[in-house]
Amino acid sequence: MSKARAYTNIALIKYWGKRDVAEMLPYNSSLSLTLDQFYTETSVDFVDQKEDQFFFGSEAQPVSPKVKRVLDRVRSLSGRDQAAVVKTVNHVPTSAGLASSASAFAALAVAASAAADLQLSQRELSILARHGSGSASRSIFGGFVVWHAGVDDQSSFAEPITETVDFPIAVLAILVDQGRKKVLSGAGMQASVETSPFFSAWAQTAEQAIPKMEKAIANQDIAEIGALAETNAMQMHATTLSADPPFTYFAPETLKIWEIVREIRTKGLNCYLTLDAGPNPKLICQLQDIETITNYLQNRIPDLTYTLCRPGSGAQLVAK
Ligand code: 2P0
């Protein structure tokens, strides 16, 4: 039995759209910060039984096609034909609204490859995780991470920009809604690819934003990192509003928070908003401003749930 832990990540330059659905190749490169909150622990055991089994907590669930794809890849790389028993537990602090498949598939890739005695490099682990979920390729690494779009299986991988982040960037995750029925990210991005007339402009603009973000990170410029991330997030969301039929991940509270964030900036504080395939905003700020910013928001919208996140570490094997 091998067990691994991986943390979620927040994309500062988003992945939105697959160039090749079967091979999980994205249209554009993306760039993220791995967080220190919300992680998944997954154990994998290869055993002599007929079918793969999957447990979420103590509950047995059907093995999803994505999980099967990662397991099949590990079997083919290692020459094993045994079935796998996968047990996974998500550790979410006070409903952060951060749940994502990134931590889940990064943990699965590390645990399954170790259970099969594969000696994969970090790059190979990133490629394996990508086959489960695109964003999982980035959660193999800690700190700031870039996922190169690539042109084929072996050239589409993530690598760290800097795993140790020694400047005071913080991400404030705000929970506005955890029950909304949503368009799953895979279906959402496919709709944008197929029907938004803005899609090619999105992919091109996002690719061009990568070196700009890398420069802002090198300069430890939190204002520039936040500004680039907010612009990129809104450009991604423009491809949902411009899809046919149009859809959006914004909730009324999301827009309200964005308005307050822009107001906070007029007070001279660095505070920027990013948003994924759901209504819960994540604010990019300086650690020392967090109390002022939460007080400001709390006065305007009481009873929101906040989770403070800092840069986190990459996926690790915790038992073998
Ligand atoms: C990201 N998202 O870069 C973007 C921003 C959501 C919005 O990666 O279809 O669960 O499994 O590859 O990785 C969420 O999509 O999608 C995601 P699949 P995934 O973080």
Confidence band of 215 (pLDDT split at 50, 70, 90): very high
Which ranges of 121-270 would DSSP assign to H, the alpha helix? Answer: 122-132, 185-195, 199-218, 222-241, 252-266
Q: How confident is the model at residue 103 (pLDDT cuts 50, 70, 90)?
A: very high
pLDDT band at 92 (very low <50, low <70, confident <90, very high): confident
Q: What is the pLDDT of residue 201?
A: 98
Q: What is the pLDDT of residue 94?
A: 53
Tell how far the Cα of 283 is from the centroid of ligand 1, in angstroms.
18
**pLDDT reported for residue 157:** 98
List residues bridging with 135 in a β-sheet.
none
pLDDT digits (tens, 9 = 90+) for 262-309: 999 999 999 999 999 999 999 999 999 999 999 999 999 998 999 999
**What is the distance, to the nearest Å, from the Cα of residue 180 to the centroid of all Cα atoms in its chain?**
19
- Which tokens in the block code for residue 188? 């959402």
Contact 89, 57 (CB under 8 A): yes
User: What's the pLDDT score for residue 303?
Assistant: 87
Judge whether residue 144 has pLDDT over 70: yes
For ligand 1, whether the C-beta of 217 sits within 6 Å is no
Q: Identify the CA nearest to 7 among candidates 97, 93, 102, 86.
A: 102
Distance CA 199, CA 76 (A): 35
- Which pLDDT belongs to residue 267? 96
Q: Is the CB of 133 under 6 A from ligand 1?
A: yes
User: Do residues 272 and 283 lie in contact, with contact meaning Cβ atoms separated by under 8 Å?
Assistant: yes
Assess contact for 147 and 134: CB atoms under 8 A.
yes
The closest residue, in CA terms, to atom 18 on ligand 1 is 133
* Residue 95 scores a pLDDT above 60: no
The residue with greater pLDDT, 181 or 45, is 45
Indicate if ligand 1 lies below 6 Å from the C-beta of 276: yes
What pTM, to 2 d.p., does this model score? 0.96
Of 51, 40, 205, the closest CA to residue 133 belongs to 40
Q: In the block, which residue shows the tokens 């905003």?
A: 281
What share of the chain in percent tops pLDDT 70? Answer: 97
Q: Decide: 191 in ligand 1 pocket, CB within 6 A.
A: no
Distance CA 283, CA 200 (A): 27
Residues 6+ apart with CB under 8 A from 5: 39, 40, 41, 107, 315, 316, 318
| Total Cβ atoms within 10 A of residue 213 | 21
ipTM: 0.97
Specify the ligand 1 atom closest to the Cα of 24.
12
User: Higher model confidence: residue 97 or residue 35?
Assistant: 35
Torsion, CA 14, CA 15, CA 17, CA 20, rounded to 10: 160
Span 69-85, average pLDDT: 97
98: pLDDT confidence band, cut at 50, 70 and 90?
A: confident
pLDDT at 97 over 80: no
More confident residue, 93 or 236: 236
**Rounded distance, CA 292 to CA 215, Å?**
28
Cβ–ligand 1 contact at 106 (below 6 Å): no
For residue 177, the model assigns a pLDDT of: 80
Token pair recorded at residue 58 = 């103590």
* Nearest residue to 237 (alpha-carbon basis) of 270, 295, 196: 196
Look at residue 279 in the predicted model and tell me its pLDDT: 92
- Distance (angstroms) between ligand 1 centre and the Cα of 15 equals 6
> Phi and psi at residue 114, in whole multiples of 5°?
-70, -40
Q: Which of 157, 165, 141, 159 is nearest to 7 (CA)?
A: 141
CB 185 within 8 A of CB 276: yes
Instruction: Return the ligand 1 atom nearest residue 14 CA.
Output: 3
Sheet of 282-286, strands arranged across: 271-274, 282-286, 169-175, 305-309
Atom of ligand 1 minimally distant from the CA of 186: 9
For ligand 1, say whether the CB of 16 is within 6 Å of any of its atoms: yes
Q: Is 134 in the pocket of ligand 1 (CB under 6 A)?
A: yes
Q: What angle, rounded to 10 degrees, do the helices at 65-78 and 101-115 form? A: 30
Lowest-pLDDT range of 22-36, 167-181, 203-217, 227-241: 167-181
From the list 182, 192, 191, the residue with the least C-alpha distance to 249 is 182
- 172's enclosing H/E stretch is strand 169-175
Pocket flag, ligand 1, residue 186 (CB < 6 Å): yes
Answer yes or no: is the C-beta of 3 below 6 A from any ligand 1 atom. no
What structural domains and CATH numbers belong to the chain?
Answer: 2-164 (3.30.230.10), 169-309 (3.30.70.890)
Index of the ligand 1 atom closest to the CA of residue 13: 3
Q: Is the CB of 12 under 6 A from ligand 1?
A: no
- Which residue has the CA at smallest separation from atom 9 of ligand 1? 186
- The DSSP call for residue 64 is P
Taking the centre of ligand 1 as the mean of its atom positions, its distance from the CA of residue 86, in whole angstroms, is 22
Burial class (CB in 10 A: 0-12, 13-18, 19+), 241: middle
